[in-house]
Structure formats: C-alpha cells, structure tokens
Amino acid sequence: QRKIEKMYNSKTLQNADKVLVMNNFTKELVSSYYNVSNNKISIVSNGTNLEKFYNSKNNNNRVISSGAM
C-alpha cells in the first residue's frame, strides 16, 4: 500500500504547476522523495500574508492537498 501511495503522490506532485510547503526541510524532502523539481516548490511559512497571492481575476485554480494539513 505504501508503494501505491508514493506512486500516486509522486504523479500528483510532479504534474502540479506549483507545490507549496512550510519550510526548507519539507521542500528538500518533497524534491528528493517524490522527485519534484525544486523550481516547482515554493515555501509559504506560517504567518504569510495570503492577500499578496490572491488574484480575483483568475480564481479558477484548484488546491490539492497530499498529506496532513
């Protein structure tokens, strides 16, 4: 089951336009374990002003969570 989960998560993360993580440790983990390009991964730490990222003109994006939130 773990192998299937890793395969599914890998494909999901690799096909994402952007992957958001909490810190550099998680960025390196996602990059190495799931083989995701570093330029697709951005760090958004706790306390980030999310209004900087909100764009009302293009609000058709989806957020997919893989793992605990």
Which residues on neighbouring strands pair with residue 46, listed in sequence order? Answer: none
Instruction: Categorize the per-residue pLDDT at 69 as very low, low, confident or very high, splitting at 50, 70 and 90.
Output: very low
Taking the C-alpha atoms of residue 43 and residue 29, their distance in angstroms, rounded to an integer, is: 13
Nearest C-alpha neighbor of 41 from the set 50, 28, 54: 28
Instruction: Categorize the per-residue pLDDT at 59 as very low, low, confident or very high, splitting at 50, 70 and 90.
Output: low
With 90 as the cut, is the pLDDT of residue 48 above it? Answer: no
| Alpha helices (H) in the chain, listed in sequence order | 2-14, 24-33
Q: Is 41 helix (H, G, I), strand (E, B) or coil?
A: strand
User: Do the beta carbons of residue 35 and residue 11 sit within 8 Å?
Assistant: no
What pLDDT was estimated at residue 32? 94
How confident is the prediction for the chain on average, in pLDDT?
Answer: 81
Per residue in 20-32, pLDDT tens?
898 999 999 999 9
Q: Which residue has the higher pLDDT, 19 or 62?
A: 19
